[in-house]
Amino acid sequence: MDRMLRPVHRWVWGDFDRRVRKLIAFAEVEGDGGRDILRAAEVTPDPLLRRLYLAHAIDELHHADLFRQRSAALLQTRPARVKTIFSATPLPGGHGLDDLQIDGEPDDRLLAFLHVAEKAAAGRFAIYREVVDDDPSTRAVFDEILRDEVFHMNYTYTQLARISPRTYRRQVWRARASRLWKRYLRVAAAIAGVFGTAVLTIQYFILLPPFALLAKRAERREPPGWTPVSPEREHPLESQY
């Protein structure tokens, strides 16, 4: 899928502002992911996993620093005025660690989730590395991070197979299905937002004008100023109705 979207990735990364924005967004996702994995290291009962989670969290926090430094360095070289018509990025970010939940998650589910997320990240960062070929420093950042992501992808799979030797394949499929489902929900929510805006705009321009016209006509028929109350409605004031 991402390979097919390569021209879109190239377009996204081709613009200076979008590139900086992407790098800043990656820094946030990597940092959040690193802190979550740090929490996983605290709560896991497995000593080997604790060591690996700790190393993993340090890597992710380091990635956050690399992305932040690179975006700051790019911002310093920013031309005075950059004209961009569309500066948002239509594709999701690199890592997908933003959906990570630690507390109450057993290690096997967490490892399956991490494996799928790291695999996706490795695939994405490999593409990003190619599309920023005009910018060797950003490319070097992706090169370095990609090596770590491949290690994360592999250790999570090996450890999942160690702690759940019978069910690890099923767990990975489940994690993949859940990721796809979340992605579908995000796309569906975005499409629903676009449709909602379109329908409300159409309603505003098609349904409201007749009512506005009727209100104007009714207003013209109303006598101006105070009007006397008819005798049958003239009761003494006993209640507010």
| 36 touching Fe ion, by CB under 5 A | no
Q: Which of 49, 56, 55, 39 is nearest to 95 (CA)?
A: 56
Min dist. Cβ of residue 95 to Fe ion (A)? 6
Min dist. Cβ of residue 190 to Fe ion (A)? 25
Q: By CB under 5 A, name the one of 12, 18, 31, 60 that touches Fe ion.
A: 60
Min dist. Cβ of residue 149 to Fe ion (A)? 5
| 152 touching Fe ion, by CB under 5 A | yes
Residue 17 or 32 having the CB closest to Fe ion: 32
List the end-to-end C-alpha distance of the chain, in Å, as a whole number: 67
Q: If binding means CB under 5 A, how many residues of this protein chain bind Fe ion?
A: 6
Min dist. Cβ of residue 56 to Fe ion (A)? 7
| 115 touching Fe ion, by CB under 5 A | no
| 18 touching Fe ion, by CB under 5 A | no
Residue 107 or 118 having the CB closest to Fe ion: 118
Residue 30 or 197 having the CB closest to Fe ion: 30
Min dist. Cβ of residue 27 to Fe ion (A)? 10
Give 63: exposed, middle or buried? Use CB within 10 Å, 0-12, 13-18, 19+: buried
Residue 36 or 118 having the CB closest to Fe ion: 118
Residue 153 or 241 having the CB closest to Fe ion: 153
* Residue ranges in contact with Fe ion by CB under 5 A: 30, 60, 63, 118, 149, 152
